[in-house]
Amino acid sequence: MMWVYEHTVEDTNITAQQVWAAYQNVSAWPSWDSELQSASLLGDFTVGSKIIIKPKKGPKAKAVITECVPFEKFKDVATLPLKTELIFSHQIEQNSKNVKLTHRVSIDGPLTFIFKLFVGKPIQAHLPKAMETFVLLIKNGEI
């Protein structure tokens, strides 16, 4: 059974182009996600490229970008033990009034029931603050 959590923020003072540039700046992710010690991109920000993430608590993880549509969305997937996947989806929607960002976290596989407790719930707890910080840093021109 899949576990899913998503959070959305909207802002009138940023653009999809600014958001996309901040997503591509993988090494700056720890500046807005307080749970990350480091993050790096191997290659270009495109399908098939790998992202290495080191959480403050836990081992390094390798994710692969599996979907990438500039200025609209990207998805990265990390494989956990026993074919369980940790999936991060990022959606950007811009209209004439604002930009809406949705981050969705999914855990899918045989060990979902364990990983939702030890991985999913902590992500759920800090994701709203991370997204708020993300938008603030974009508005301030810091990422």
- pLDDT, residue 79, reads 95
Q: Residue 80: helix, strand or coil by DSSP?
A: strand
Phi/psi at 90 (nearest 5 deg)?
-125, 120
Question: Measured in whole angstroms, how far is the alpha carbon of residue 118 from the centre of its chain?
Answer: 17
Average pLDDT of the segment spanning 76-87: 95
Q: What gap in Å lies between CA 80 and CA 86, rounded to an integer?
A: 7
pLDDT at 1 over 90: no
- pLDDT, residue 114, reads 95
Q: What does pTM read for this prediction?
A: 0.94
Whether 22 and 138 have beta carbons less than 8 Å apart is answered as: yes
% of residues, the chain, pLDDT over 90: 97
Model confidence pLDDT, tens digit, residues 20-70: 999 999 999 999 999 999 999 999 999 999 999 999 988 899 999 999 999
